[in-house]
Every structure is written in C-alpha cells, then in structure tokens.
Amino acid sequence: MLPFLCLLLLVSAYLLFRQTVRNGSLAHALEDVQKEQVRAFDFLDGLGNQLQKSQSTATMHRFMVEGLVQVLECDGAALHILDPARAELVPMMISPACPLLFEVPAPLLSGSAGQAERLNYLRLQTIPVSHPVYGEALRHHHSLWLNNLAEHPRFSGAPDASAFQVELLIAPLVYAEKIIGLLTAARQRPGRPFNQNDRSVFESLTRQSSFALGSAMVHREASEKRRLDAELRTASEFQRILLPAKAPEFRGYTIAAASFPAMIVSGDYYDYVSVDDRHLGVAIADVAGKGVPASLIMATCRSVLRTRAAGELSPARVLSVVNRQIFPDIREDMFITMTYLVLDAETGHLLISRAGHRPALIHRKATGLVEPVAPVGLAVGIDDGDVFERVITDRECLLEPGDTMLLYTDGLTEAVNAAGEEYGGERLGQSLQLRASEPVESIMTGICEDVRGFAGSEAQSDDITLIVIKKG
C-alpha cells in the first residue's frame, strides 16, 4: 500500500509541476503578445505622425522598415516599390542586419565577404516581378510565410542553399486595389521562429503602411501637379507678353489676329515687324508639337525673326536666316511651318514666302472668289540651309481695295467634330467668302464661331491662330 501511495504522490507532484510550468509559459507568451501589440501601436502612431507631417518619402521608408524590425523583433526587413514600366521591384530601404533575401553572386557567399558587401548588393539589386518567391505574393495579392527560404524549390539542392537559412514574412503593399510595393520581414535560422501572432501583426502593419505610402504618393503627385501648373501659368503669361497686344495701325490696311492654345502654353506664333517706314512684316508660325518645348522654340523663332526682319524686304531671305539660326538647336522630331509677308503701304503690293505652312487665302472683292496663295518652301528646322534656300521663294501679290487675306495655322482646318470629320479648307474658304465684306474683327470672330459650332463638344486638339488683313 505504501509504495502505491508514494507513486501516487510522485505522479501528482509531476502533474502539478507540469501545470505550473505550463501556466508560466502561457503567462510568458501572453506577456510577449502584449509587448508586441504595444510596439505595434507605437509603430502605427508614429506612422500617422509621419503622414501628417508630410515627411520625405525616404524618411517614411526608413521609419517603416526600422519600425517593422522593432515590432517583430526580427533580424531584418526590406521595402521594395513596384516599377510597372520595368516590371521590377526596386529596393527603397533595407535594414542594416538584414539576412540574404534572394540570389547573390557566388563571391558574396564566401567567408571573405562581409555583411556590408551583401547589404550593398541587396540595396542595389532589383527583383523581377516574375521571381518565384516574391512574384507569388504579387500575383495572388496575399502574404506569404516561408519557414525556410533554403527549402524553396528555387534554392533547394543548390551548393549555396545553406546561406539562405532564413524565415520570411512577405506581403504586398496595396493601395486603391493596385500593388505599389512589397514588405519583407526576415529572421535568420536557427533562432526564435515567427508565430501566428507575428504574422497577424505583420499583415496589419503592412495594410497601414500601404495606406500611408499610397496617401503620400497621391499627396506628392498632387503637389507636383500644382507646381507644374504654376510653372505653366507663368510660361503662359510670358508667352502672352511675347505675342502682340494689338494689331498695328498701318496705313491702307486693317488687321486683326487671335490665338487659342490647345494647352496652357502654345506652339503657335504670330507677330508684326516694322521693316521700315513704308513696309510692315507679318508672320505666322506653327511649331510641330504642343506645350512647353514648342513654346520655347516659338520664343527663339520670334527673337531671330525680329532681329533679321528690320530693313529686309525679301521674306525668303528672312526665313533663310531663321532656319540657319534654329536648325542646330531644334530637336530631330520638331520643325516649324511658317509664313512671312511684307506689306507695302503705298502700292498695295506684298511679297510672301511660305516655309511649309498652310496656303494663305485671298478673297477678291471684284470677283467674290477665294484663291489660295502657296509659294514653294520647306519647313524650318528640317535642313541646315542649303536645300531650304534653294527651294524657298518670294511671291508677289497685289491687294486691291476691299480684298481680304487670311493667314492661319492647321489647328483651324483640322478641328474635328463628333463624327471625326475635319473642318477643312473648303469650309474655311466658304466662311471667309461669307464674311469678306465685314470688318476684320467680325471676319475673325465669325470664322472662330463657325469652327467652334462645327466641333461642338469635341475638345480642341491643336493650337489655333489666325490673322485677317484687309486692304482699305
């Protein structure tokens, strides 16, 4: 009986001991979870502060990675941002003690290679979205928990597989249903492994980081757009100053002009130049392209034309100088179409030269007909000068009292309606013919209204400029 009682006491004591140990372990585990949650709350609080302060993106990247290491008490963490154009994950921040996360050159696996060298490689190397490990998280939009990277088929059996004894938590950063990057937490094996609570906390931090990063990106893009809009408005104002404020008073003629950019700044240009007391130069031009580059070329063209036109009665010679001056600096995919004419106040004669521009139109009061004026010429900026100067010519025209000339850019005739039809030269000629007896301002306004009525709700796709000249 006594031995049995002794055995019973021993078993009871052992069970009591195991229960005490178990309770202690549970208490310790609960304490670990509570500490991890406190660290997670601190991380989220700090992340919110970073977002409110609108800190630099680099500062936010560092906070996320270092915070992840602290919260999970892991050996390292990494943040990669997706570059959709190159289909690659670009490293933004990798913690100093981060283990190897993907394949590296053999020399970095040797004993002579240090952590600094490996880390530099990790910080410079992009990861293709097709990578068998990281690509899975991107394709399926969910987190991964790899107990041992070395056991993945990509590394299993490789001579250097032992270098990848790493446990990983990987999760995509998703904002507005779009993947913007990837977060990775790593622990070197052997060591304390991740548990389910670690994964839950990691996924929660990833969701909050996604929101913070996405919001920061949207804020940065909005700020950049506001900055660019401000710069464009400044450029537009500068360009407006370069265009004539009003038409000049030139004896024997009335003139009106208008320009309507398709964007904030324009590639169209028109100008008036006093050649001498008897002659007035009138120019209209269209730079191939729109926006800031076209406006800069336009400003250069204006400067050269004004410098060369004074005292020169031949429009062709003026355009030849403009071409030689601009050709060395113009981009290969850009050119300028241009018409320049010189009016004579005493005789009604004019000389006109055309560098690949739309034909001018003249409405003859005597016949009521509209005739095109299209001397031969090559666009500015295509040739260094030899061919341009052989081709370009001056043509003489006579404007009788009541005759009207129209100069315009192709944005006018190429305006389209909802059916995809262009306004075209025939409609333009008819509009001029219909209004030719009116003052120049009314002619200009009427043509513009015709074009707008034709296009309807379709957006203007190109800059529109026109000049109306009437012989008194």
pLDDT in tens, 282-307: 999 998 866 677 777 888 889 999 99
Domain map (residue ranges) of the chain? 35-221, 234-471
- Residues listed for the chain: 472
CB-CB contact of 364 with 371 (8 Å): yes
Give the residue carrying structure tokens 């398709």. Answer: 262
b/e burial code for range 169-207 (CB count within 10 A of at least 16 → b): bbbbbbbeeebbbbbbbbbebeeeebeeebbebbbebbe
Architecture of domain 35-221: 2-Layer Sandwich (3.30)
Give the span between the Cα atoms of 134 and 179, in whole angstroms. 13
In DSSP notation, 85-120 reads TTTEEEEEEE-TT----S---GGGGSTT--HHHHHH
- pLDDT of 19: 52
- pLDDT of 2: 38
Burial of 33 (0-12, 13-18, 19+ CB in 10 A): middle
pLDDT in tens, 80-133: 999 999 999 999 999 998 998 988 887 887 766 678 888 899 899 999 999 999
Q: Is the peptide bond before 439 cis (omega within 30 degrees of 0)?
A: no
Output DSSP code: residue 418.
T
CB-CB contact of 453 with 387 (8 Å): no
If one compares 27 and 351, the residue with the highest pLDDT of the two is: 351
Query: CA-based Rg of the chain, rounded to a whole angstrom?
Result: 38
- pLDDT of 280: 98
b/e burial code for range 337-350 (CB count within 10 A of at least 16 → b): bbbbbbbbeeebeb
Q: Percent helix, strand, coil in the chain (nearest 5)?
A: 45, 25, 30
Q: How many CB atoms lie within 10 A of CB 101?
A: 25
Q: Is the peptide bond before 190 cis (omega within 30 degrees of 0)?
A: yes
Q: Which tokens hold the place of 104?
A: 């590296």
Cα–Cα nearest to 322, from 306, 337, 301: 301
Q: Is the pLDDT of residue 63 over 80?
A: yes
Q: Which tokens hold the place of 299?
A: 């400003």
pTM of this structure: 0.60
Q: Is the pLDDT of residue 13 over 50?
A: no
Share of the chain above pLDDT 70, in %: 83
Q: Which tokens hold the place of 202?
A: 């990691």
Provide the residue type at 164 as one letter. F
CATH of 234-471, one of 3.60.40.10, 3.30.450.90, 2.60.40.420, 1.10.10.10: 3.60.40.10
Do 234-471 and 35-221 fall under one CATH topology?
A: no
- pLDDT of 397: 96
pLDDT in tens, 130-169: 999 999 999 888 899 999 998 888 776 666 767 789 999 9
- As a whole number of Å, the end-to-end CA separation of the chain is 140
Read off the pLDDT of each residue in 207-226 and give the average, rounded to a whole number: 82
CB-CB contact of 364 with 388 (8 Å): no
CB-CB contact of 380 with 323 (8 Å): yes
